[in-house]
Amino acid sequence: MRGAVIHAPGDIRFETLDDPQILHPTDAIIRTAVTCVCGSDLWPYRGVEPTGEPHPMGHEYVGVVEEVGGEVTSVEPGQFVVGSFATSDNTCANCRNGWQSSCLHREFMSTCQAEYVRIPNAQGTLVAVGQRPAEEFLPGLLAVPDVMGTGWWAAEAAEVGPGSTAVVVGDGAVGLCAVIAAREMGAERIVAMSRHEPRQELAREFGATDIVTERGAEGVARVKDLTGGIGADSVLECVGTGQAMRQALQSARPGGSVGFVGVPHEVAVDGQELFFSHVGLRGGPAPVRRYLPDLIDRVLSGRIDPGRVFDLTLPLEQVAEGYRAMDERRAIKTLLTP
């Protein structure tokens, strides 16, 4: 089969790879229907994270089951399936508590920009949608287990509730999906922080009521202006930089909450600042598995359309151009079709 391999920062190649095999009786193999490039893939692409030895890339997938290991009974060949970037057995103590992305047997997916993918912990990870859905739903279903699930988690971690004010820091695909989530959870006012017009427009269509283009202290001051001087009930930090985290913490009101869902890079939170802010802070890899049935339903019923974050579709063999377009901010998110 063929798939994407990163050789060095900026160097993504589409290569012939070994077909994945069932390695454990808990594995499944799927044929990829669609896959995509994630904002977090840009960390190694930009050299912010070391790339190390050449290795496959990608952790987002939907597809059709080809083969299952002997212990997998929940899905069968031919079914169309959706699954998280963090695999989970869905039976351990953490899974039972609803924290499947901290599953004791978790493996992070990392080879999904390819024609076929091995899924560890398939029994707990994969959710069958049944027959292959209509093409129009594929982008939305692909968004669910990563960017939409992560946006949902941002809103949950930030304790968005009916009538609340939510601020979304970050206008990438996750931030835009976080706007959808905040609206679905009943936020009355949703402030999207974005300085890119096409993204502002999509944020508004997804439910943002206000756009703030300023960043840093000025951005915080604008949020305070919009919130009676005290800050927002909920802030959804969807970037992962120190600057974004500071902005998020300072934008929340005393007693408000920050959900942070971008993997933090060189972020340290000062204990005394956090203390006197009274702000609650929770983040992590989204426990997507918990949300999957509900989010799949919202997509297939047409209630939400997170697939709109894909503004560039390329054949999988042009994966390198997919990275470039996102790196240069020509695309919000690139969908790849094998």
Q: Quick check: 253 binds a copy of itself (CB under 8 A)?
A: yes
Work out how close the CB of 249 gets to a copy of itself at its nearest, in angstroms, rounded to a whole number.
Answer: 11
- Paired tokens of 14: 């589409």
Q: Per-residue contact track with a copy of itself, 148 to 167, x per CB under 8 A?
A: ---------x----------
Work out how close the CB of 177 gets to a copy of itself at its nearest, in angstroms, rounded to a whole number.
Answer: 18
- 93-101: Cβ within 8 A, 24+ apart: 95/124, 95/289, 98/287, 98/290, 99/287, 100/124, 100/287, 100/288, 100/289, 100/290, 101/284, 101/285, 101/286, 101/287, 101/288, 101/289
Q: Quick check: 255 binds a copy of itself (CB under 8 A)?
A: yes
What is the Rg, in whole angstroms, of the alpha carbon atoms belonging to the chain?
Answer: 19
Enumerate residues 217-236 that contact a copy of itself by CB under 8 A.
Answer: 228-230
Work out how close the CB of 189 gets to a copy of itself at its nearest, in angstroms, rounded to a whole number.
Answer: 15
Task: Judge contact between 48 and 57, C-beta under 8 A.
Answer: no
Residue nearer to a copy of itself on the CB measure, 21 or 243 = 243
Burial per residue of 32-45, b for 16 or more beta-carbon CB atoms within 10 angstroms, e otherwise: bbbbbbbbbbbbbb
Residue nearer to a copy of itself on the CB measure, 69 or 262 = 262
Residue nearer to a copy of itself on the CB measure, 219 or 283 = 283
Q: Quick check: 91 binds a copy of itself (CB under 8 A)?
A: no
Enumerate residues 319-338 that contact a copy of itself by CB under 8 A.
Answer: none
- Paired tokens of 214: 């300023």
Sequence-distant (≥ 6) Cβ neighbours of residue 201 within 8 angstroms: none
Angle between helices 216-226 and 242-251 (to 10 degrees): 20
Q: Distance (Å, rounded) from C-alpha 51 to C-alpha 69?
A: 31
Q: What is the largest CA-CA distance in the chain?
A: 60
Q: Quick check: 50 binds a copy of itself (CB under 8 A)?
A: no
Task: Judge contact between 178 and 194, C-beta under 8 A.
Answer: no
Of positions 93, 217, 243, 302, contacts a copy of itself by CB under 8 A = 93
Of positions 264, 318, 327, 337, contacts a copy of itself by CB under 8 A = 264
Enumerate residues 270-289 that contact a copy of itself by CB under 8 A.
Answer: 270-272, 274-285, 287
Work out how close the CB of 250 gets to a copy of itself at its nearest, in angstroms, rounded to a whole number.
Answer: 14
What pairing do the DSSP bridges indicate for beta strands 210-212 and 189-193?
parallel
Residue nearer to a copy of itself on the CB measure, 183 or 253 = 253
Q: Per-residue contact track with a copy of itself, 99 to 138, x per CB under 8 A?
A: x-xx-x----------------------------------
Question: Among residues 190, 139, 193, which one has the least CA distance to residue 304?
Answer: 139
Residues that bind a copy of itself (CB under 8 A): 93-94, 97-99, 101-102, 104, 157, 228-230, 242, 245, 253-255, 257, 260, 263-272, 274-285, 287
